[in-house]
Amino acid sequence: MVFIMTLKQIDPSLFENYAQHKAHLDGKLMLYADRNPQGKILDFGGKQYTLGDRQKMNLSGAISSPDRALQKMTLSYEWDSFIKNLEGDGILFVYAGFEPSASSMSSEAAKQLKYNCYPLKAK
């Protein structure tokens, strides 16, 4: 059985605190995928990209729309280190599930959304 990864391009200007991170976001390809890639090469828009090493990031938010929750990724604890050390042409974000907040286990509680983030380098 072959699983096809669905890719969605994300406009970097939609990220929170965009002005603060503009220098690191402008000109970068931002993609969201519904599953982890199967290999180290990704085809998008007629180009091939090599995937760098995965970095895990957590983000507080709701699980109804994990792709739109990415707009708050710039507020995550790991973001500054990740984006300032990014070498490449973009980022692939993959939703990797969630955990209930440690403070409450109710279904209405805040969630920690988990993402796998891969740097992209054009071939």
pTM: 0.83
- pLDDT band at residue 108, thresholds of 50, 70 and 90? low
Mean pLDDT of 87-93: 92
Hey, which residues does 51 pair with through a beta bridge?
120
pLDDT digits (tens, 9 = 90+) for 6-15: 899 999 898 8
For residue 84, pLDDT over 60 is answered with: yes
pLDDT digits (tens, 9 = 90+) for 19-43: 988 888 888 999 999 888 988 999 9
Mean pLDDT of 78-97: 88
How far apart, in whole angstroms, are the C-alpha atoms of residue 87 and residue 104? 38
The backbone torsions φ and ψ at residue 36, rounded to the nearest 5 degrees and listed phi first, read -65, 145
